[in-house]
Amino acid sequence: MRLSDLSPGETALVVRVGGSGAIHRRLLSIGILPGAIVRAVRVSPLGDPIAYEIRGSFISLRRNEADYVEVEKIVPLHLVPPGSVVKVILVDGGVGFIRNLNRMGLSPGKLVEVLRPCCPMLIRTDAGVFNIGRGMAYRIYVR
Protein backbone atom coordinates (compact mmCIF):
# COMPACT_ATOMS: atom_id res chain seq x y z
CA MET A 1 0.00 0.00 0.00
CA ARG A 2 1.24 3.51 -0.77
CA LEU A 3 1.19 6.48 1.61
CA SER A 4 -1.00 8.37 -0.85
CA ASP A 5 -3.70 5.66 -0.48
CA LEU A 6 -4.37 6.51 3.20
CA SER A 7 -7.63 8.27 3.98
CA PRO A 8 -7.71 11.09 6.56
CA GLY A 9 -7.56 9.65 10.08
CA GLU A 10 -5.87 6.37 9.08
CA THR A 11 -2.53 5.37 10.59
CA ALA A 12 0.25 3.38 8.94
CA LEU A 13 3.74 2.08 9.56
CA VAL A 14 6.39 3.06 6.99
CA VAL A 15 7.82 -0.11 5.45
CA ARG A 16 10.01 1.24 2.66
CA VAL A 17 11.02 4.59 1.19
CA GLY A 18 11.59 4.45 -2.55
CA GLY A 19 12.59 7.00 -5.12
CA SER A 20 16.07 8.09 -6.01
CA GLY A 21 18.24 11.13 -5.72
CA ALA A 22 16.73 14.33 -4.36
CA ILE A 23 13.22 12.96 -3.69
CA HIS A 24 14.60 10.06 -1.64
CA ARG A 25 16.83 12.39 0.41
CA ARG A 26 13.93 14.83 0.96
CA LEU A 27 11.60 12.09 2.26
CA LEU A 28 14.25 10.81 4.65
CA SER A 29 15.16 14.31 5.85
CA ILE A 30 11.58 15.16 6.83
CA GLY A 31 11.38 12.05 9.00
CA ILE A 32 9.78 9.46 6.74
CA LEU A 33 11.93 6.50 7.74
CA PRO A 34 11.17 2.77 7.85
CA GLY A 35 9.48 1.98 11.17
CA ALA A 36 7.97 5.45 11.61
CA ILE A 37 4.25 5.88 12.32
CA VAL A 38 2.43 8.20 9.90
CA ARG A 39 -1.16 9.46 10.16
CA ALA A 40 -3.02 11.05 7.26
CA VAL A 41 -4.54 14.26 8.59
CA ARG A 42 -6.16 16.15 5.74
CA VAL A 43 -6.49 16.20 1.97
CA SER A 44 -6.73 19.55 0.20
CA PRO A 45 -9.99 20.29 -1.67
CA LEU A 46 -8.47 19.40 -5.05
CA GLY A 47 -6.82 16.24 -3.66
CA ASP A 48 -3.22 17.44 -3.79
CA PRO A 49 -1.24 17.99 -1.48
CA ILE A 50 -1.99 15.77 1.50
CA ALA A 51 -1.13 16.66 5.13
CA TYR A 52 0.43 13.97 7.34
CA GLU A 53 1.47 13.80 10.98
CA ILE A 54 4.76 12.09 11.69
CA ARG A 55 6.63 12.14 15.01
CA GLY A 56 4.46 14.99 16.27
CA SER A 57 5.11 17.24 13.26
CA PHE A 58 2.81 18.03 10.37
CA ILE A 59 4.14 17.75 6.84
CA SER A 60 2.60 18.21 3.44
CA LEU A 61 3.42 15.98 0.47
CA ARG A 62 2.26 15.95 -3.11
CA ARG A 63 0.52 12.76 -4.16
CA ASN A 64 3.37 11.80 -6.52
CA GLU A 65 5.88 12.18 -3.64
CA ALA A 66 3.74 10.07 -1.29
CA ASP A 67 3.61 7.33 -3.95
CA TYR A 68 7.29 6.59 -3.24
CA VAL A 69 6.53 5.58 0.37
CA GLU A 70 5.31 2.02 1.00
CA VAL A 71 3.26 1.61 4.19
CA GLU A 72 1.34 -1.01 6.15
CA LYS A 73 -1.99 0.12 7.63
CA ILE A 74 -2.26 -0.34 11.41
CA VAL A 75 -4.77 0.61 14.10
CA PRO A 76 -4.46 1.19 17.84
CA LEU A 77 -5.69 -1.74 19.94
CA HIS A 78 -8.50 0.34 21.49
CA LEU A 79 -10.29 0.45 18.08
CA VAL A 80 -10.46 -3.33 17.68
CA PRO A 81 -13.96 -4.79 18.22
CA PRO A 82 -14.55 -7.57 20.79
CA GLY A 83 -14.08 -11.11 19.53
CA SER A 84 -11.30 -10.12 17.10
CA VAL A 85 -7.89 -11.77 17.04
CA VAL A 86 -5.14 -9.39 15.89
CA LYS A 87 -1.38 -9.38 15.57
CA VAL A 88 0.73 -6.83 17.48
CA ILE A 89 2.83 -4.80 15.05
CA LEU A 90 4.34 -2.04 17.18
CA VAL A 91 4.46 -0.95 20.82
CA ASP A 92 5.00 2.79 21.20
CA GLY A 93 6.51 3.50 24.60
CA GLY A 94 9.50 3.52 26.87
CA VAL A 95 11.60 0.67 28.20
CA GLY A 96 9.46 0.08 31.32
CA PHE A 97 6.22 0.13 29.33
CA ILE A 98 7.57 -2.36 26.79
CA ARG A 99 8.91 -4.60 29.60
CA ASN A 100 5.49 -4.67 31.31
CA LEU A 101 3.75 -5.51 28.05
CA ASN A 102 6.26 -8.28 27.32
CA ARG A 103 5.30 -9.89 30.64
CA MET A 104 1.69 -9.90 29.45
CA GLY A 105 2.64 -11.47 26.11
CA LEU A 106 2.13 -8.22 24.18
CA SER A 107 5.18 -7.90 21.96
CA PRO A 108 5.49 -7.46 18.19
CA GLY A 109 4.47 -10.60 16.33
CA LYS A 110 2.20 -11.98 19.10
CA LEU A 111 -1.53 -12.61 18.70
CA VAL A 112 -4.08 -10.87 20.94
CA GLU A 113 -7.79 -11.64 21.33
CA VAL A 114 -10.03 -8.78 22.46
CA LEU A 115 -12.63 -10.13 24.89
CA ARG A 116 -14.21 -6.87 26.10
CA PRO A 117 -13.99 -3.33 24.73
CA CYS A 118 -12.56 -0.41 26.58
CA CYS A 119 -12.42 0.67 30.14
CA PRO A 120 -10.75 -1.51 31.12
CA MET A 121 -10.21 -3.58 28.01
CA LEU A 122 -10.06 -7.34 28.59
CA ILE A 123 -7.62 -9.19 26.35
CA ARG A 124 -6.26 -12.73 26.04
CA THR A 125 -2.68 -13.51 25.03
CA ASP A 126 -0.61 -16.68 25.21
CA ALA A 127 0.44 -15.56 28.73
CA GLY A 128 -3.13 -15.26 30.09
CA VAL A 129 -6.09 -12.89 30.38
CA PHE A 130 -5.40 -9.25 31.30
CA ASN A 131 -7.16 -5.93 31.85
CA ILE A 132 -5.50 -2.97 30.17
CA GLY A 133 -6.51 0.67 30.31
CA ARG A 134 -7.27 3.01 27.45
CA GLY A 135 -3.89 4.74 27.71
CA MET A 136 -2.06 1.46 27.17
CA ALA A 137 -4.40 0.38 24.37
CA TYR A 138 -3.74 3.65 22.49
CA ARG A 139 -0.02 2.85 22.32
CA ILE A 140 -0.28 -0.73 21.05
CA TYR A 141 -0.64 -0.89 17.26
CA VAL A 142 -2.09 -4.00 15.64
CA ARG A 143 -3.08 -5.35 12.23
Q: Residue 128's domain is classified under what CATH number?
A: 2.30.30.90
Q: Kindly report, residue by residue over 53-85, the tens digit of the pLDDT.
A: 998 899 999 999 999 999 999 999 989 999 999
List phi, psi (to 5°) of 57.
-110, 150
What's the pLDDT score for residue 143?
Answer: 87
What's the pLDDT score for residue 46?
Answer: 86
Q: Please check the confidence at residue 118 and state whether its pLDDT lies above 80.
A: no
Within 10 Å of residue 66's Cβ, how many Cβ atoms?
Answer: 23
CA distance 67 to 108: 27
Q: Please check the confidence at residue 40 and state whether its pLDDT lies above 90.
A: yes
Q: Is 136 found in the same domain as 84? A: yes
Q: Is 91 found in the same domain as 62? A: no
pLDDT (mean) for 26-38: 91
Q: Is 84 found in the same domain as 35? A: no
What's the pLDDT score for residue 110?
Answer: 93
Give the domain range for residue 138. Answer: 80-142
- Which H helix or E strand runs over 96? helix 95-103
Q: Please check the confidence at residue 14 and state whether its pLDDT lies above 90.
A: yes
Q: Please check the confidence at residue 97 and state whether its pLDDT lies above 90.
A: yes
Q: Is 137 found in the same domain as 102? A: yes
Chain mean pLDDT for the chain: 91
pTM above 0.95, yes or no: no
CA distance 49 to 60: 6
CA distance 19 to 50: 18
Q: Is 97 found in the same domain as 126? A: yes
Please tell me the total count of domains within the chain: 2
pLDDT (mean) for 131-140: 90
What's the pLDDT score for residue 66?
Answer: 92
